[in-house]
């Protein structure tokens, strides 16, 4: 037993602890190894860039989802927000609005929808699962009403350099969505680890009552967190719409599941209070590698789903075991 001094006791090299901390990274490396052995083409720079670009949309949604899950909540409405904001931005550009303005509008709309989720959950004291299940349905329905069930595309959309650049451009030879993903990661990493808001997020998930008594404005924090999630969903919506050069009314369906899976694979506890955004990035990469690898190996998409489910299950079970020990 030691009294706390100004020096923390020296930690011995602890193999077990390293394994448990780096578990997801190790899983990713093993996965990469397996896929590479099966098909060395996997490591081609073109394929790796392709993989990262495919991952970016899920990762961006999952960053927002990380905040939500850290508070012990969940956001099922992200896929619908993605679709609706994508459709609105595409149609606004189609009607002659400058692309930057339309994109800004789409992002604000996403943030607003997220804010609405947060408002219902904070002040309505509704369970996040039920509240966002309801808004997921509402936002999806609104998308179908808005688009009349048809894809939105136009010459204006195809000719807007800025809008095309979002999903299809390259910066220094790197696809632009990857750049967006990295920048978003850095921003949210700093927010989560280096700001008072980040600490409050953890506190809220750890023990809401204790956080409240310690002066955390729990309602405001909750609303902000769902706003972030909505904003990230609409950002993903911009990228997807740009890549496809059209807004699909059923875009983003079941994207919430991949985002939740990335967060959980990354080691964030669904009970809240514990987790890291770095883990989420790794989790998203694992899912991306699985998808990309199985495509390379020519595995049918039916089997792909089974494999993905099994991998998530294994990861979660391993995580439970780790927490118990």
CA distance linking residue 163 with residue 26, whole number of Å = 37
User: What are the CA-CA distances from residue 267 to residues 89, 144, 298 (Å)?
Assistant: 34, 36, 30
Residue 228 CB, nearest approach to another protein (Å): 16
Using CB under 8 A, which of 50, 207, 253, 278 touches another protein? 207
**Which x/- pattern, by CB under 8 A, does the window 263-302 give for another protein?**
----------xx----------------------------
Using CB under 8 A, which of 2, 155, 300, 301 touches another protein? 2
Locus of tokens 């083409």? 41
Using CB under 8 A, which of 40, 96, 215, 298 touches another protein? 215
**Which x/- pattern, by CB under 8 A, does the window 20-59 give for another protein?**
----------------------------------------
DSSP assignments along 20-58, one per residue = HHHHHHHHHHHHHHHHHHH-GGGGSHHHHHHHHHHHHHH
| Phi then psi dihedrals of residue 293, to 5 deg | -60, -45
Q: Which stretch binds another protein (CB under 8 A): 147-155, 181-189, 204-212, 226-234?
A: 204-212
Cα-Cα end-to-end distance for the chain? 22
Using CB under 8 A, which of 65, 216, 233, 260 touches another protein? 216
Q: Look at residues 255, 221, 268, 214 and name the one whose alpha carbon lies nearest to residue 121.
A: 221
Q: Please, which residue, 228 or 284, has the CB nearer to another protein?
A: 228
The answer to whether 325 contacts another protein (rule: CB under 8 A) is no
Q: Please, which residue, 167 or 205, has the CB nearer to another protein?
A: 205
User: What residues contact residue 53 under an 8 Å CB cut-off, 6+ apart?
Assistant: 175, 177, 178
Could you tell me the two tokens for 226? 């769902």
**Which x/- pattern, by CB under 8 A, does the window 155-194 give for another protein?**
-----------------------------------x---x
The answer to whether 210 contacts another protein (rule: CB under 8 A) is yes
Q: Which stretch binds another protein (CB under 8 A): 7-15, 33-41, 275-283, 314-322?
A: 7-15
How many residues bind another protein (CB under 8 A)? The answer is: 30
Locus of tokens 């495509």? 295
In Å, the largest CA–CA distance within the chain is 72
H or E, element range at 83: helix 78-94
H or E, element range at 170: strand 170-171
Locus of tokens 């699962």? 129
CA distance linking residue 87 with residue 241, whole number of Å = 8
The answer to whether 324 contacts another protein (rule: CB under 8 A) is no
The answer to whether 12 contacts another protein (rule: CB under 8 A) is yes
Locus of tokens 């800025």? 162
Using CB under 8 A, which of 96, 125, 213, 324 touches another protein? 213
CB atoms within 10 A of CB 311: 17
The answer to whether 212 contacts another protein (rule: CB under 8 A) is yes
Using CB under 8 A, which of 15, 148, 209, 301 touches another protein? 209
Residues within the interface to another protein (CB under 8 A): 1-6, 8-9, 12, 190, 194-196, 199-200, 202-203, 206-207, 209-217, 273-274
């Amino acid at each position: 037993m030691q009294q706390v001094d100004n020096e923390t006791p020296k930690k011995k090299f602890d193999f077990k602890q390293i394994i448990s901390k780096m578990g997801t990274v190790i899983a990713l490396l093993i996965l990469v190894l397996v896929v590479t052995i099966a098909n060395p083409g996997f490591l081609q720079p073109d394929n790796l860039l392709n993989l990262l670009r495919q991952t970016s949309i899920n990762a961006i949604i999952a960053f927002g989802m990380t905040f939500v899950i850290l508070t012990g909540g969940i956001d099922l409405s992200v896929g619908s927000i993605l679709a609706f904001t994508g459709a609105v931005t595409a149609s606004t550009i189609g009607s002659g609005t400058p692309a930057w303005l339309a994109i800004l509008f789409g992002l604000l709309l996403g943030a607003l929808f997220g804010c609405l989720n947060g408002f219902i959950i904070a002040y309505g004291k509704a369970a996040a699962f039920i509240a966002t299940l309801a808004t997921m349905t509402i936002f999806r329905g609104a998308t179908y009403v808005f688009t009349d069930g048809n894809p939105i595309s136009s010459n204006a959309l195809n000719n807007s350099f800025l809008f095309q650049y979002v999903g299809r451009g390259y910066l220094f030879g790197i696809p632009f969505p990857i750049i967006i993903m990295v920048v978003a990661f850095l921003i949210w990493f700093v927010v989560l680890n280096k700001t008072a808001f980040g600490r409050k997020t953890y506190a809220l998930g750890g023990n809401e009552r204790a956080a409240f008594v310690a002066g955390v404005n729990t309602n405001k924090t909750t609303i902000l967190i769902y706003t972030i999630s909505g904003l990230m969903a609409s950002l993903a919506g911009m990228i997807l719409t740009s890549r496809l050069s059209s807004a699909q009314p059923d875009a983003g369906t079941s994207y919430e599941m991949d985002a939740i899976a990335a967060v959980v694979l990354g080691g964030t506890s669904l009970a809240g209070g514990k987790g890291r955004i770095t883990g989420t990035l790794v989790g998203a990469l694992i899912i991306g590698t699985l998808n990309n690898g199985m495509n390379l190996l020519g595995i049918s998409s039916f089997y792909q789903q089974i494999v993905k489910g099994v991998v998530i299950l294994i990861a979660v079970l391993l995580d439970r075991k780790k927490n118990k020990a």
